[in-house]
Amino acid sequence: MNIILLGYMGCGKTFYARKLSTIINLPFIDFDTLIEQREKKSINKIFHENGESYFREIENNNLSQLLNQNNNFIFATGGGTPCFFNNLDLLNELGLTIYLKKKPKKLYNFLIKNNYNRPIFNSFKTIEDFFNNFNYREKFYLKSKVIIDCDNSSNIQILTKINNHYNENRFKK
């Protein structure tokens, strides 16, 4: 069974996927990194040179290709991945989707503090733009099979919750 981590940028999808990969000995795929490798350029460069529409199309194509693999893996999506085309349906078909839920204000503060450099985040002109984008995307994240509230949990607790949901679901058909 595949584990698919969803959530807004900065929620820890890649961090938790990488850590969990070593704990349960499954390969880890970071979607943004996979796309960068296949396109031979950074996400920022893809957005700048080709635009968001092009990026979302290649994201959807790559997701469809992953669906045809029979391997078990842990998959960290991009923050916008579930919000375009039929991607959320593909992700739910691909495996156990888990939304790593964090309060938007905490995410915003984290992204500002860490000087987060992503094209969507960089496009926000006001804090309201950020919150509007978060609210739009969260409607998709909430359709995940599992929702984990990460705000008041340690990294160990979050990893344990993900692993517990994986163990509860991996033998279901």
pLDDT tens-digit profile of 116-142?
888 999 999 999 999 999 999 999 999
Question: 165 lies in a domain?
Answer: no
Helices (H) and strands (E) in the chain, counts: 8, 5
Q: How many whole angstroms separate alpha carbon 60 and alpha carbon 90?
A: 9
| pLDDT attached to residue 67 | 84
| pLDDT attached to residue 63 | 94
Question: 170 lies in a domain?
Answer: no
The conformational region for residue 115 under phi > 0 = left, psi -120 to 50 = alpha, else beta, is left
Nearest to 80 by CA among 106, 109, 58: 58
Question: 111 lies in a domain?
Answer: yes
Regions of the chain short of the pLDDT cut 70: 70, 173
| pLDDT attached to residue 93 | 92
Residue 53 belongs to what domain range? 3-156
| pLDDT attached to residue 173 | 62
Placement of tokens 């700048």 in the chain: 48
Q: Name, in order, each residue with C-beta under 8 angstroms of 127's C-beta and a sequence gap of 6 or more.
A: 108
Contact between 103 and 149 under an 8 Å Cβ cutoff? The reply is no
How many structural domains does the chain have?
1
Rounded to a whole number of angstroms, the distance between the first and last alpha carbons of the chain is: 10
Contact between 162 and 148 under an 8 Å Cβ cutoff? The reply is yes
Question: 72 lies in a domain?
Answer: yes
Question: 163 lies in a domain?
Answer: no
Question: 29 lies in a domain?
Answer: yes
pTM of the model: 0.96
Domain of residue 86, CATH code: 3.40.50.300
| pLDDT attached to residue 5 | 98
Diameter of the chain measured on Cα atoms: 46
